[in-house]
Each structure stands twice: as C-alpha cells, then as structure tokens.
Chain A
Amino acid sequence: MSVSQETIETVAGLEKYKHGFVTDIEQEFAPKGLNADIVRFISEKKGEPEWMLEWRLAAFERWLAMEEPTWAKVDYTPVDYQDLHYYAAPRTKAKPKSLDEIDPEILATYEKLGIPLKEQMVLAGVEGAPKYAVDAVFDSVSVVTTFREELAKSGVIFMSMSEALREHPELVKKYLGSVVPVSDNYFAALNSAVFSDGSFVYIPPGVRCPMELSTYFRINAENTGQFERTLIIADKGAYVSYLEGCTAPMRDENQLHAAVVELVALEDAEIKYSTVQNWWPGDPVTGKGGIYNFVTKRADCRGDRSKVSWTQVETGSAVTWKYPSCILKGEGSVGEFYSIAITNGRQQADTGTKMIHLGANTRSRIIAKGVSAGKSVSTYRGLVSAHPKAKGARNFTQCDSLLIGKECAAHTVPYVEARNGSAQFEHEATTTRLSEDQLFYAMQRGLSQEEAVQLLVNGFVREVLQELPMEFAVEAQKLVAISLEGSVG
C-alpha cells in the first residue's frame, strides 16, 4: 500500500473512534458497591488462598483510611466508588482446551480491534504468525493464554495472576506488593483490595525470553472498573520484553481503571516494558465519557547491573495519572523512561516518572515528549533523586512539549533532589509550538495541513518511537496521527 493511500485510509478511519463498540456476551457481575464482603466475594470467586484474602482485606482497610490525591493537574467528576461493579467475568462453559472453544464473540472482538499486535493471527492460529505470547484480558479474567507450552520449555512462567496464585503461590507471595506496597497510594490500595486479574511473568535465571510477551487489555462491560495487577520478575541474568496495548469501547459513563504493575529485576536482568494506550478519551467537545486511567507502575532494580526500560505511548483516556518509576537499588543498575503523551479534545494527562537512585553508579535517562492540542492539558511531572549512597549516580532528562492551538496547556513539573557530591544530573525542557516555517515547507511540498502536522509531530516524537518494538512502533505512529485529528484548521 502506498503511503498516501495509507494516509487517506487513516484519515477516513478517523471519523469515529474505531474501537468504540460493545461485545455482547453473558457476564457475571458482583453486585455494585465496595465493602469487605465484595472483597471476600472476589477472593472466593477466584478460589484464592486464605493469605491472599487477608492481604486484600488489609489493603481495603488501608484504602478506607486514605484520601484520594488531588495534587495532579487534572480536573474530573469524582468517582463514586460505591456505584461500580468490582468484578465481572465472562461466563465460560468449562476451561477452554483450544481456541475453537472460545466464545466466537470474543474472537470477533479481537478482530474488530484490528491487528496492531498480530495477536489475532496468533489467536486464530495462522501459520507463520510471529511468535507472540498473548495473555488476553477480557474484562477482568484471562480467557486464553497461548504459547504457554513453548514458553514453559524455556522455563518461563507466563499466566494470569489467578492461575499463578494457584500454581506458584510461593512466587506470588514473595513478590506481590514488594515493589508497590498496598498502602503506597490511594489507587494502589484500591487495586490491592479488589484486583480481578492480570499477568504474571517469571523468567528464570539466565533465560532470554524467546518471544515478546503481550497482554491485551480491554474494558468491556458497562460500569466495571478494571483493576489489573501485573507482576513481572526477571531472575538473575534474564531478559524479557513485555508489551501492553489497550483499547476500550465507547461508553457514556466514566470508567475507572486503576492498575498496578510491579517489575522486579534481579542481578544482570533486563526488563523492557512497552505500553500503547488508546482508551476512549471521551467526547472531544464535552469531554464526557472517557476512561479514567489512574495507574501505578513501578520497577525495582534490585540486583546489580539490572536494567528496566519503560516506553509508553499515551494517546487515550480522558484523565491519565501515571508515573512509571524505577527504584535503582542495585549497583550500576539502569532505568530508562521514554514517553509520548498526546492529548486532544478535552483530555488531561498528568504523567512522568520517578528515578530513585539508591545504589552506586546507577544511571537513568528520561525522554518525555508531550503534545497538546484542542482544549487538552498535558503535564510532565517527574522526580529524580540521588541518595547519599548513590555515588556516581547520573541522570539525563529531556522533556519537550509541543502546543497546537490556543486553548491547550502544557506543564512541566520536574523535581530534582541530589544528596551526594558525585551525582550528576542534567535536565532540560522546552515548550514551543509547531514551527510555522516547517509547516509551510511541508505544505509547499504538497502535503495537506493535517498531513504536515502529522509528519512534524511524528518527527517530534521519533526519539521515543524508536524505543518501541517494531510492530508497536508502526501502530503507535498511526495512533499519533489519529489522536491529532481535528486539531488544526
């Protein structure tokens, strides 16, 4: 397909949020509201061990005592936590043995999502499909996990959290909550109490995970907050690349998403975590109906020379509140954060990272690109800190914001705390608008204004796109274009 043809099709597809559809399958709900009984209900439904229930109840107690944070530069209708379902599971007849047994509606849902990750081909068992392991999360319960056997050969454990609780309780017990404690923040406590499911990954020592692991999140049922819990452990010398992609159907009511992602990297291990987030951003004019994305993501570089790299492309959600962070504990450990946050319409994104240097010679790098258009607000908020023992810590931070339109806003709020004499921190930030000269040049070469903007914005965020795995980068590039639809002219 020629580039221009592709552009035309992309633009044609912009008319409507293409992932805004609803799949009708039978759902099993917990009653609305949140109390200790609901927590017990969820735990029981999932057949969890007693310690897990205790853990959840303790988190719930903590949550009750906490207050919703208000420091972020976002403004939204408060969430009524008693008006949500905290559990919704699709009814499956029995445990599916093969893909054929999966509800065709679910498979059709994947089809409608397009093939950003080629997961469908994998799910459909197409020959020659690339090796991706998919843990599909369909409204809270993992429906199918493919490629598990192949992964098992190399000793990689990749399964849903509920399965992991049954099959590897010792690993879950050891690491769950060890990076993000239950009382870490309001939304993490809520998640700890009611998380429905999520992914669990364990890479044994010295193993380089043979394929990219990927989860497909979808929020489907009306009024169900989704509380994912992801735990990835890379043991000594292991490597894993994990992809997370998100789409959600169009909805009138605000949907809450409060996930927790914990990464643990032991000695010499490396984790690469990539996210493309494209949730329903709400009505572009009124801002009504979008997803609230209040996520806690944190990596613990526990071992010496370990490395964690976060890459995110945030184009969706009405409100985003997300700070993937790295605790650089191990000597010589490395943390990286590459982010693109694009807001349009009435979207609000308050996102950034924390790089906490605890160990000697730890290094971190932050590249954050924010693009605001329409009436949106985009904020970079970050912390870089070096503790007294973090001798020789180094950080480089670059945050650039691009403004498109008179009514949008872009903020940069970096915190830097240096507590020893050998730390070296560099930070630079710029805020500018799209260059008229460049626009003129591109349009003079025959591009429409919209195409010219897309071209320039893609150039602006290129540094980050390059960090994404190839397949994701292609999808992300299109997303960038889609997100900016209607922002000029």
Chain B
Amino acid sequence: MNAPVRLDLRDASTFPTRRVEDWKWSDLKRFLREAPAVSPAIVVAPGGPFAALGGQEIAFGNGLTVDAASEARFEGAGVLRLRFVSDAQSTGHQASATVVVPAGAELLVLESYEGAGSAYASNVGLTFEVGEGARLTRVVLLEEPEDVISVSVADVTVAPHARYEHTVLASGAKLQRHETRVNHPGHGASVRLDGLYVLAGSRHADLTTVVDHQGVGGVTSQLTKGVVADSARGVFQGRIVVDRGADQTDARMGHHALILSDKAEIDAKPELEIYADDVSCAHGNTIGALDENALFYARARGVPEHEARVMLTQAFLGEVTDRIEHEGAREAAQAWLAERLEALL
C-alpha cells in the first residue's frame, strides 16, 4: 500500500499525479506543475459563514493567523470556528492546525474554507485528537472560486468510547480535495463520516476518507451524497480497513449520487479491506438520474417541474444534513443546501 501523499506546496515533487492511485481522479499535477509563489498576507475580519453560532474563532488569512503563524493549536470544549480564508491571485499558501478535545469534553468545530480572488492554491493540514469519552462534531463548508485548487487533509485520532462525527459540504473548485483519515480504536468508539457535494459548471470535488479500525467493537457509519450538473465532476473514495483482531466491527458505507448532465461525471471507489473475520461490513453505491417516475408523480399532483426537481433533489440530499445532531449547525447546513440547489437547478 502506498503511503498517503503529504502535499507540500513549496515542493513540486510532492504533487500527486493520477498515477498515484489515491489521486487517480484528482490529478493535481495537471493543474499545478510548479510550486506557486507565496500568497501575500491579508487581514481577515472576524465572522464567517458560521458567525451566528458564536464560539471561539481561529482564522487563517492566506495561510497565516493574526499572529502571522502558519500553525495553530486549540484545546478545549464548546464551539470553535476554524476559518481558512483565501484571497489571492495565482499564488499559494498553506496552514496547519491541531485541535484537541480533552477526555469527556464536547466540541463543535465549524470549519470553513472561504475563498476570494482566483487561481490560488491552498493546502491545509489538520490534526484532531478526540480524548476518551469525548465528542467531536465537525461541520466543514467548502465555498471557493471555480478556478482554484484547494486541498485539505485531516488526521483524526479517536480514543476509546469517544465519538467523532463529520459532515463535509462541498461546492467544488478547479480541484477540491477533502481528505480525512481516522484511526478508530474500537472499544465503544463510534465514527460518522458524512459528505455532500453539489457541483455545477466545471467544478470538481473529491471527498476521500479512510477509517482504520484497530480495536474490537468499533462502529462506523458513512453516508455521502451528491449531485453534479453541467460538466462538473464528483469523486468519492471511501476506504474501510479492519485490522487483524478488530472483531465485532460494524461498518456501513453508502454513496449515492445524481448526474444531471451528459457531460458531468461521478467517480466512486468504496473500498473494504478486511483482516478480521467476525465483522459486519457493507457498502452500497448508486449513481443515476433523478427518478422520472417520482418527477411525473409530483407533476401529476400539480407541482411545477422546476419545483418538483428541487423538492426531490433536496429530499434526496437532505438525508445527509438531517444527520447533524447540533441544531444550529444542522440548520446552517440545510440553508446552504437549499441555496446551492436553487442555484443549480
């Protein structure tokens, strides 16, 4: 097995090509041949898309915090708004952050990627540590210009009896990759990895996850849904690994997507890699068009076609946002979805 790619924007030799299996459908080298110049520093006004939900804020502007550091660390509970703001022209920047949730604590991370400008490349590396019995909910919003490159990779370590849950909301970019690698200890810990992509134009979004079950009795539930229109491209790669001895693992993965155009593309690779026998693992993957029968039914009941399409698509995708337990975060995600769909359809 290939070691995961560790992208460094300053070193072009770390840029993966499509010959790297895990980057097969997100050929970074095609769009970025050389290391870009470093983006200028910018000032970020506090707030962001999740401002209404309060909490503490850590904001990066073109890869730098207010203190001009390219790294940040947070340890605590409550609500954290982790913002990665880009405003650059054809330059590149990268940042990294570590978030620690102490044992027994509960933290909601509202992670936003806010972009302005054009053709920039952004690379974010994150580390999450969820302590024993702790709970981390992460809601990620990717809203960037159509012609930029944005890569974000998170390493998540979960302790026994802890919960890690994330929901990624992606609207794509020229190349947008959101990757999460979870070390799952089993022993009462549970992991939920959800994703949603709504892509138009020539946007590309790649949601990649790897969950490595290392101990007995781990639970993982995964649901990713998406819709692509125009000549957009959605990529889903999910890998569930069950190590030797990680018995009684229960892992479910689902990826379901709609293609609305003949030029759009969806690529999916739901993988299972199982080294223990007393497990129950399953994945399902469906790709297709909107159900014409359901559409016909709605229209026969007097719902105009456009409205019917929005309604059906929203119902289809809404299953993902409904799974967010935090009320405020759920409502923000639902509002984002409704807005995106209205623009798409």
Contact = CB atoms under 8 A, between A and B. Distances in A.
Given A420-B259, A420-B262, A421-B262, A431 B274 contact: yes
B259 A423 contact: yes
**Max count, chain A CB within 10 A of own CB: residue among B277, B279, B281, B289:** B277
**Max count, chain B CB within 10 A of own CB: residue among A408, A422, A427:** A427
B274 A417 contact: no
10 contacts: A388-B263, A406-B277, A412-B270, A418-B287, A420-B259, A423-B259, A425-B286, A427-B284, A427-B285, A431-B282
A403 B274 contact: yes
A429 B272 contact: yes
Nearest to B254: A428
Interface in B78-102: none
A430 B260 CA distance: 29
B279 A433 contact: yes
B262 A422 contact: yes
A190 interface: no
Interface string B242-277: 001100000000000001111111111111111111
B345 to A, nearest CB: 14
A406 B244 CA distance: 8
Contacts of A429: 270, 272, 282-284
Contacts of A51: none
A410 B283 CA distance: 14
B13 interface: no
B287 A405 contact: no
B305 interface: no
Contacts of A405: 277
Interface string B105-142: 00000000000000000000000000000000000000
Interface of A: 71, 388, 391, 401, 403-433
Contacts of A426: 284-286, 288
Nearest to A417: B267
Contacts of B289: 421-422, 424
Nearest to A379: B273
Those 8 A-B pairs whose CB atoms lie nearest each other, nearest first: A403-B277, A424-B288, A427-B285, A412-B272, A416-B268, A431-B281, A433-B277, A425-B287
Contacts of A411: 271-274
B278 interface: yes
A90 B87 CA distance: 75
A391 B264 CA distance: 13
A428 B272 contact: no
**Max count, chain B CB within 10 A of own CB: residue among A401, A415, A422, A431:** A431
B21 interface: yes
B280 interface: yes
B315 to A, nearest CB: 19
Contact of A431 (B263, B272, B284): B272
Contacts of B277: 403-406, 408, 433
Nearest to A402: B277
Contacts of B285: 414, 416, 425-428
A413 B289 CA distance: 24
A431 B275 CA distance: 11
A239 B325 CA distance: 58
B162 to A, nearest CB: 25
A72 to B, nearest CB: 12
Nearest to A397: B285
Contact of A401 (B21, B274, B278, B284): B274
Contacts of A428: 282-285
A207 to B, nearest CB: 38
At the interface, is chain A mostly helix, strand, loop or mixed? strand
A401 B264 CA distance: 32
B262 to A, nearest CB: 4
A410 B288 CA distance: 28
Interface residues of B, number: 34
Contacts of B283: 412, 427-429
A93 B278 CA distance: 59
A425 B280 contact: no
Given A404-B277, A417-B265, A432-B279, 18 more contacts: A71-B21, A401-B272, A408-B277, A409-B274, A410-B274, A412-B272, A414-B271, A417-B268, A421-B260, A421-B261, A422-B262, A424-B289, A425-B285, A426-B284, A427-B268, A430-B282, A431-B280, A431-B281
B262 A391 contact: yes
A426 B284 CA distance: 8
Contacts of A423: 259, 287-288
B27 to A, nearest CB: 14
Interface string B139-155: 00000000000000000
B74 to A, nearest CB: 37
Contacts of B273: 409, 411
A460 to B, nearest CB: 14
A414 B239 CA distance: 11
B288 A414 contact: no
**Max count, chain A CB within 10 A of own CB: residue among B278, B281, B282, B287:** B287
Given A424-B289, A425-B288, A426-B286, A418 B259 contact: yes
B279 A427 contact: no
A414 B269 contact: yes
A393 to B, nearest CB: 10
A424 B21 CA distance: 25
Nearest to B229: A421
B293 to A, nearest CB: 13
Nearest to A429: B283
Contacts of B267: 415-418
B265 to A, nearest CB: 5
A420 B245 CA distance: 42
A413 B273 CA distance: 8
B266 A415 contact: no
A417 B284 CA distance: 15
B81 to A, nearest CB: 36
Given A412-B283, A425-B286, A418 B265 contact: yes
Given A416-B285, A421-B264, A421-B289, A427 B275 contact: no
A409 B273 CA distance: 8
A409 B275 contact: yes
A394 to B, nearest CB: 9
Nearest to B270: A414
Contacts of A430: 280-282
Nearest to B282: A430
Contacts of B274: 401, 403, 409-411, 431
A336 B311 CA distance: 36
A401 B275 CA distance: 12
Contacts of A422: 262, 289
A429 B284 CA distance: 6
Contacts of A431: 272, 274, 279-282
Contacts of A415: 267-269
A407 B244 contact: yes
A428 B287 CA distance: 12
Nearest to A403: B277
A317 B277 CA distance: 23
A220 B262 CA distance: 53
Contacts of B265: 417-419
B123 to A, nearest CB: 26
A186 to B, nearest CB: 16
Nearest to B269: A415
